[in-house]
Amino acid sequence: MTSDRVGAPVPTGAGVTGRQLALVEAFGDRPDLTRYYLGARRVLQDETNPDRLAQAAHSVRELLEKLPNYFDVPAEKGDRSLKAEAKNLAVVWDRTVKNSRCYDSERWSGEIDGSLHKFLRKAMEFFKWLGDERPARVDQAREFLRATDASPYRMPVAIERLRLAEWDEYRNFFVGIAHHGTATFDDVEQWLASLEDFLLRQLVPRTFEDRDEIRRIVAEAERDAHP
């Protein structure tokens, strides 16, 4: 493996396909994306690794989660993580269940007391933070598709839904395999190859570069229309 820029390795060798090289080039000066992708490709080919499918899927999941951030798509703000905030809320919940007079170990009833009021206020703050600070995953994917759409016209809503659904299918598959879901090598290879095509269509739209070819096609169409 060689490198033509710092931190962005470029794959070489007989096992490397033109599609893989094209995708690395499409990532451009975004070495983290290249590392996620090539890491997945390398570990997937390592037959001596008994956990290669899950590890490759984990790298692909990282790629999909980080990809929108490199194309001017809003990411979560600040240093507060969802896991940490949820744990803080859980602490307040446990204290409320233990101390609130509104709970009798089976059901909630009566007027809101001080303990329950504190939890509700904390929950309200949590959900407000969640909405303000962490854009929904589907919103990030939608903005990524729009940011990388080469067309001067906004894509129809129905087509956008289809592309979002495809994106979500890729994500769900690789998240499942990263958590050691059931799959074969051929399954993962097929899904990864399809994802590569999806990303190439999005990041490197095909265009007719040969003007003579364009003119030939137009001429044939006109001739067929007016025999």
Q: Residue 97: which domain range? A: 82-133
- pLDDT at res. 128: 80
Asked if residue 189 and residue 149 are part of one domain, the reply reads: yes
Asked if residue 108 and residue 19 are part of one domain, the reply reads: no
Asked if residue 27 and residue 111 are part of one domain, the reply reads: no
- pLDDT at res. 28: 86
Q: Is the pTM of this model over 0.75?
A: no
Asked if residue 52 and residue 12 are part of one domain, the reply reads: yes
- pLDDT at res. 215: 63
Is 128 domain-assigned? yes
Is 28 domain-assigned? yes
What 8-state DSSP symbol labels residue 3?
Answer: E
Burial class (CB in 10 A: 0-12, 13-18, 19+), 208: exposed
User: pLDDT averaged over the chain?
Assistant: 82
- pLDDT at res. 212: 61
- pLDDT at res. 224: 64
Asked if residue 44 and residue 152 are part of one domain, the reply reads: yes
Rounded CA separation 13/1 (Å)? 8
Q: Which residues of the chain have pLDDT under 50?
A: 1-8, 12-14, 208-209
The residue type found at 116 is: L
Asked if residue 94 and residue 51 are part of one domain, the reply reads: no
Number of domains in the chain: 2
Asked if residue 66 and residue 8 are part of one domain, the reply reads: yes
The residue type found at 144 is: F
Asked if residue 194 and residue 106 are part of one domain, the reply reads: no
